[in-house]
Structure 1
Amino acid sequence: MTSVTTPALAAPSAEAIPRGFLLYEKASEKKDATGQGLWSVDQRKNAKLAVDPCHSGSLAVTGRTAARTVTYTAVSDQRAEQLILYSSAQAAGQALAEVRRALARCPAIQAAQTAYRYSGAAVALGDEGLAVTGQLYQGGKATLGGERVILARRGNALIVYARSAEWGAPDKADFARQTKDAESMLAKVCQVARCR
């Protein structure tokens, strides 16, 4: 009698992000009821980071093994959700460090009477987190326009939730939705990331 062995099921790849894994992917499959917004999903590994203080287009790209970005664009409301997997937790940590260095290194974008400035502060999310504010200033005072971004790292994963809107002066409450979304993703990201 010949013995037949059943091949072991392959473990899910730590380098793949299953379809529908991001929080806003389902929303991206539906048509915007207002008809004014547009959803898109980008699976390119080298997609631009949702926040880029130096506008380099290559921030935090080194060491990526997989990425997915969901964006929503409307007239006065832009949102982005990103999950990026890196080759190691160290590489993901270096990516977040790159963002911090960019915040310190890149000057405000100056126009005739306005300036657009970025700033960041550490937040307690995942293994390490960062809250980034981009704000338009006119005559030294905050005016309408800016972005609020939460970045959180857990293991080899970097999670990004960004919103650009007609924000006034920066306020902690501006980060409430992005923080809640980051916490939701952090609760499940170890299904695809190497967290230990």
Structure 2
Amino acid sequence: MIPMLLLAAAVAIPNGFMLYEKAAAKKDDNPEHSWEVTGRTSARLVVNPCDRSTLARSGRKAAKTLIYTAVPDYSKSEQVILYTSRAGAKKAMRDVRAAVRACGTKGYRFSAKRVKLGDESLAVIGQAYRGRKPAIGGERAIVTRRANALVIYTVAGEWGPPANADFKMQIKDSKKMLGKICKIAAC
């Protein structure tokens, strides 16, 4: 029985490992600011163009998700997911790319471009549109795979037309996490 408990502990993402955990732990009396922190492997992918609860869920062995929301329209999130294998993480990336291509509406569209981070990475843009012109509102995310891990950073808010500068914080955070992900991933 004890070896099984040790195995379960080894699979979990350790407390303090995530970049946003210190901020999430601070007490904030402002009712318009909140943090949601979960270690559930069934947590929804924070980049989810089709809004499917099962997107990239198959084969997860550990996950941690932190989501910060500030009313009325700003949020940021950090998510690290460990899959049972490198192939499982590759499939999750394929599923995200397919969702970006397949989902969205006339008023809200998704697009993605490759970024040079980790083993493979995508910059995902969710953008509100009025006709053919970008409107106010959207999300920007960096989704990166290294070995059997998926690392995701997002920011959503009152974005105007998409620009490379929209990804500055997410790329910085992704690079920091990629510097230490091999402590828990099968690199």
Is the TM value for this pair above 0.5? Answer: yes
Alignment partners' CA distance in 1, 2:29 and 2:163: 29
- Amino acid in structure 2 at the alignment position of 1:27: A
Partner residue of 1:194? 186
Within the candidate set 61, 66, 69, 2:57 is matched to: 61
Query: Which secondary structure state, in structure 2, belongs to the residue aligned with residue 99 of structure 1?
Result: helix
- Which amino acid letter does the alignment assign opposite residue 184 of structure 1? K
How far did residue 58 of structure 1 move?
1.0
Provide closer, same or farther for how the CA distance between residues 136 and 129 of structure 1 changes in structure 2, counting only shifts above 3 A.
Answer: same
User: Which of 128, 135, 151 is the aligned partner of 1:159?
Assistant: 151
d(CA) in 1 for partners of 2:101 and 2:32? Answer: 36
User: Does residue 1:43 correspond to 2:39, yes or no?
Assistant: yes
Contact 1:14 1:193 in 2 (8 A): no
Equivalent residue, structure 1, for 2:69? 73
The alpha-carbon deviation at position 59 of structure 1 amounts to 0.5
Q: Structure 2, unaligned stretches of length 5 or more?
A: 1-5
Q: Quick one: distance in 1 between partners of 2:131 and 2:168?
A: 28
Separation (CA, whole Å) in 2 of partners of 1:122 and 1:146: 19
Q: CA contact under 8 A between 1:45 and 1:66: conserved in structure 2?
A: yes
Bigger radius of gyration among the two: 1
Residues 82-161 of structure 1 aligned to structure 2 (within 5 Å): 82-106=79-103, 108-110=104-106, 115-161=107-153
Q: Deviations over 1:93-113 (max 9, x none)?
A: 11011000111122x324xxx
- For 2:120 and 2:127, the matched residues in 1 are separated by 23
Distance 2:147 2:68 in 1: 27
Amino acid at match of 2:38: D
Amino acid at match of 2:134: A
- How many residues are treated as equivalent by the alignment? 181
Output the CA distance in 1 between the equivalents of 2:7 and 2:183.
Answer: 11
**SS at 1:52 equivalent:** coil
Q: Give the Cα separation in 1 of the matches to 2:56 and 2:31.
A: 34
What is the RMSD computed on CA atoms of the aligned residues? 1.6
Q: Which residue of 2 aligns with 1:5?
A: none
Q: What SS does structure 2 have at the residue aligned with 1:109?
A: coil
Return the letter of the residue paired with 2:133. K
Secondary structure, counterpart of 1:169 in structure 2: coil
Name the % identity: 49
Q: Deviations over 1:21-66 (max 9, x none)?
A: 1000110000237552101211110100001111112100001000
- Could you tell me the TM-score, scaled by structure 1's length? 0.88
How far apart are the structure 2 equivalents of 1:33 and 1:176? 29
The alpha-carbon distance between structure 1 residues 190 and 93, as it changes in their structure 2 partners (threshold 3 A), is: same
Q: Whose helix fraction is larger, Structure 1's or Structure 2's?
A: 2
Post-superposition Cα deviations, 1:110-143, rounded to whole Å, max 9, x if no partner, equal 4xxxx10000111100011011000000121111
What letter is aligned with 2:118? G
